Amino acid sequence: MLYLVATPIGNLNDITLRALEVLRSVDAVASEDTRKTGMLLKHFEISKPQIAFHAFNEQRAGERIENLLRQGQSVAVVTDAGTPGISDPGYTLVQRAVQANLEVTMIPGPTACIMAVVLSGLPTHSFTFRGFPPRKTVGRRKFMEVDKDSPHTLIFYESPYRVLDFLKDALEVYGDRPAALANDLTKMFEKVERGSLSSLIAATPESKLKGEYIVVIAGKGRETSSGADADDEG
């Protein structure tokens, strides 16, 4: 069995009992970062051989993992934090397993984008997860413009080094919509700032930002804080 195991995005107490059970039972753990996963396993007193599985070796490591599965072994896939396959390695392994008729399942758990959209105060009945945008301004704006007229709440991941530039481009593309900026979710200094894009820009310093950021932006015409559309009387 191939298990995709969600791990905490900050607070280790968010690990699920089932995730621990699976990590203790598998033959090997495929890790995006073996050092970080090693710390997680040690914290919960789990000792398992690790296989490095990341964006730069997905093909080679994927073949190795597939061979282990064919031999009847079980492998757990974990990323640095959160749910494998959501802006992290995992998708190609699921493809492999499905195409090879190998068993695959998932141990659900923390996902930063879901927590961010719920805490944003923006409509959650329909949303679009866009992941990480391109790094350069031209590509980033083209990436954003795809959803310019979308009625759905938009969710993006961004690096601390580019989040301010992202917000400025978002203001240019979407106008001054309601938005939220989440950082350090589940950690001691968890923070969610809410307001217009312009107010978030004004509140975001030029430097010394740390951690991964999640930006949530209201969809076109869906700018209320309730679950109903702005133009829905029902």
Q: pLDDT by residue (tens digit) across 39-53?
A: 999 999 999 999 999
**Rounded Cα gap, residues 21 and 91, in angstroms:** 23
Q: Is the dihedral of CA 106, 109, 113, 114 positive or negative?
A: positive
106: which residues sit within 8 A by CB, 6+ positions away?
3, 4, 5, 6, 83
**Rounded Cα gap, residues 131 and 129, in angstroms:** 6
Residue 18: band (very low, low, confident or very high) from pLDDT cuts 50, 70, 90: very high
Quote the percentage of the chain above a pLDDT of 90: 88
Whole-prediction pTM value?
0.89
> Is residue 16 within 8 Å of 107, Cβ to Cβ?
yes
Question: Mean pLDDT over all residues of the chain?
Answer: 93
So what's the pLDDT on residue 222? 57
Residue 225: band (very low, low, confident or very high) from pLDDT cuts 50, 70, 90: very low
**Rounded Cα gap, residues 199 and 59, in angstroms:** 44
Residue 145 has pLDDT above 90, yes or no: yes
So what's the pLDDT on residue 234? 38
Q: Helix-strand-coil percent breakdown of the chain, rounded to 5?
A: 35, 20, 45
Q: How far, rounded to the nearest angstrom, does the alpha carbon of residue 114 sit from its chain's CA centroid?
A: 8
So what's the pLDDT on residue 200? 98
So what's the pLDDT on residue 206? 87
> Is residue 110 within 8 Å of 16, Cβ to Cβ?
no
Q: Angle 83-229-116 (CA atoms, 0-180°, nearest 5)?
A: 25
> How far, in Å, are 173, 176, 197 from residue 168 at the CA level?
9, 10, 8
Q: Per the structure block, which two tokens stand in for 68? A: 């282990």
Mean pLDDT of 64-77: 97
Residue 54: band (very low, low, confident or very high) from pLDDT cuts 50, 70, 90: very high
- pLDDT tens for each residue of 78-122: 999 999 999 888 999 999 999 999 999 999 999 999 999 999 999
